Structure 1
């Protein structure tokens, strides 16, 4: 399978059905309108062919002919440059740096809490509380522009929106205080691009 995947002209994305980082890449592909092969695999049962392509055995993994990428941020940046229209990063260096820093903070602060919630147990309740607090503390970032820190959809939105989509399933309620965040999410949830990014499992996360 490895050679057949590499020899194809179409992109191949190895993705889990419900992980935020995998959804993030699917958001970028949907925003770009890129046709690709979506190979859904279980994180605990990775096929040997994927290990041959990616020695770290991580998801998501993107294959574009002879190129194999497995870091989520690198994949997203590559897709934005490989398919420049529509651009998903602002032109000026300052704005780009701000968005990149925001994404790094989300990866370090929000995503570990989501993982802890998913594991259940006593720590999950504490993680829910902390995630809610961090989201509410970020309200000014949602008010700064039409999208997340930017007047147009960006790579940062492709990370933020999958988090917002999962809040109901995670048991995190923002209430009135978080209306600016939920309104932001709803604007994007109803777009065709977002619908294309969802897996069957992710569609069931929201009633």
Structure 2
């Protein structure tokens, strides 16, 4: 049983130790250099009485800031980006912001929507692996020498990086050409100091690179 009774700050993050949704929140925290935040790590199979009381869905990530409780990853990411504005992780232009939000929405629907099945029955896993491979193979066509998904490092990259980090863990292998394109992009993300800082012990063990 995990408890946050001893938390020291007004802001607390409940996060899964191997959860890709929690991982992208930790990436934002690391990129922003936020240190006025306590993290309650919840391992698979653990429960938290505090989380049950705060979040009707009992899910991670959940962010608590004073009397505000948030439990949708995109809402948490954008809230942190606005609450701690430097460095900015979303463009100022409203049209570009809308495009970035659409990109994150599609990743959640098309990619993150497969996560449960990747931990399901053998038949579900096979189907989810095939679908994820198809999606990433198509997505790789948009990659070139660009260092990031957009003009600058953003919440879109924070959303995509945890999935790319877990591809070997999920047993997903891309065709050589597309794999190289996404691999080059992934290595740029993984090389960021903030990305390394965002990894839990469980996540670091998912791959050696």
* Same fold per superposition (TM over 0.5): yes
2:170 is equivalent to residue 170 of structure 1: yes
Summarize the Cα distance change of 1:120–1:204 in structure 2 as closer, same or farther, 3 Å threshold. Answer: farther
Greater CA drift, 52-61 or 19-28: 52-61
Cα separation, 2, equivalents of 1:159 and 1:2: 26
Greater CA drift, 152-161 or 122-131: 122-131
CA apart distance, 1:143: 3.1
Cα separation, 2, equivalents of 1:165 and 1:4: 32
CA apart distance, 1:103: 0.8
Summarize the Cα distance change of 1:24–1:169 in structure 2 as closer, same or farther, 3 Å threshold. Answer: same
Q: Deviations over 1:106-130 (max 9, x none)?
A: 1111112232112241221121111
User: 1:104-143, aligned counterparts within 5 Å?
Assistant: 104-143=105-144
Cα separation, 2, equivalents of 1:64 and 1:4: 15
CA contact (8 A) 2:4 2:40 kept: no
TM-score (norm 1): 0.91
Greater CA drift, 194-203 or 41-50: 41-50
Greater CA drift, 129-138 or 170-179: 170-179
CA apart distance, 1:31: 0.8
Summarize the Cα distance change of 1:121–1:143 in structure 2 as closer, same or farther, 3 Å threshold. Answer: same
Aligned to 2:95: 94
Partner SS, residue 133 of structure 1: helix
CA apart distance, 1:40: 0.9
In structure 2, the gaps of 5 or more residues are none
CA contact (8 A) 1:161 1:185 kept: yes
Cα separation, 1, equivalents of 2:53 and 2:94: 37
Cα separation, 1, equivalents of 2:54 and 2:158: 25
Aligned to 1:198: 199
CA contact (8 A) 1:58 1:70 kept: yes
User: 1:145-164, aligned counterparts within 5 Å?
Assistant: 145-148=146-149, 150-164=150-164
Cα separation, 1, equivalents of 2:158 and 2:16: 16
Partner SS, residue 143 of structure 2: helix
TM-score (norm 2): 0.90
Q: Deviations over 1:6-42 (max 9, x none)?
A: xx43531100111111101111111101112221113
Partner SS, residue 174 of structure 2: coil
Cα separation, 2, equivalents of 1:118 and 1:42: 16
Greater CA drift, 82-91 or 67-76: 67-76
Cα separation, 2, equivalents of 1:204 and 1:4: 29
In structure 1, the gaps of 5 or more residues are none
Aligned to 1:28: 28
Cα separation, 1, equivalents of 2:145 and 2:82: 26
CA contact (8 A) 2:18 2:203 kept: yes
